[in-house]
Amino acid sequence: MHVAFWVGYLVFFSLLWGSYADNYAKEFVVVLLELPVKISICYINLYLLMPRLLYKQRYLPYILGLFGAVILAGIAQRVTWVYFLYPLYYQQEVDVVFWSIPKINKYIVTINSL
C-alpha cells in the first residue's frame, strides 16, 4: 500500500505541476528527486515521533522534534535543488548561495504541503 501511495503521489503531482509548466518530463524529475526527503519526513513523523511522543501525550517534545525534523528536511530539500535540480534545469541559478533562508523556508513550506 505504501508504494502505491507514493507512486500515486508522484503521478498526481507530476501531472499537476507538469500541466502548469507545460513540461511533464521536467516536473516528473523534480517531483521524483524531491520525493526521498518527503518520504523521510513522513515516516519519521509516523513511525518515530508520533509513537514515542505524541501518543504518550508529550506534546512539547513532539512539536520540537517535528519542528527540528522539518527544518532538517528543508535543508535536505535545498541540497536537492542546489546540487541536482538547478544544474539540470536552471543553469543560470548554479551560482546560488546555499544558505538562503528564504529559499530554505520555501522548501520547509512545500514539505509541509505533503
pLDDT digits (tens, 9 = 90+) for 88-100: 888 876 667 788 8
Hey, where are the domains in the chain?
33-112
CA 90 distance to own-chain centroid: 19
Number of H helices, E strands in the chain: 5, 0
Alpha carbons 2 and 9: distance in angstroms, whole number: 11
Instruction: List C-alpha distances in Å: 1 to 4, 8, 40.
Output: 5, 10, 16
The predicted model scores a pTM of 0.84
In the structure, what pLDDT confidence band is assigned to residue 114 with cuts at 50, 70 and 90? low
> pLDDT above 70 covers what percent of the chain?
95
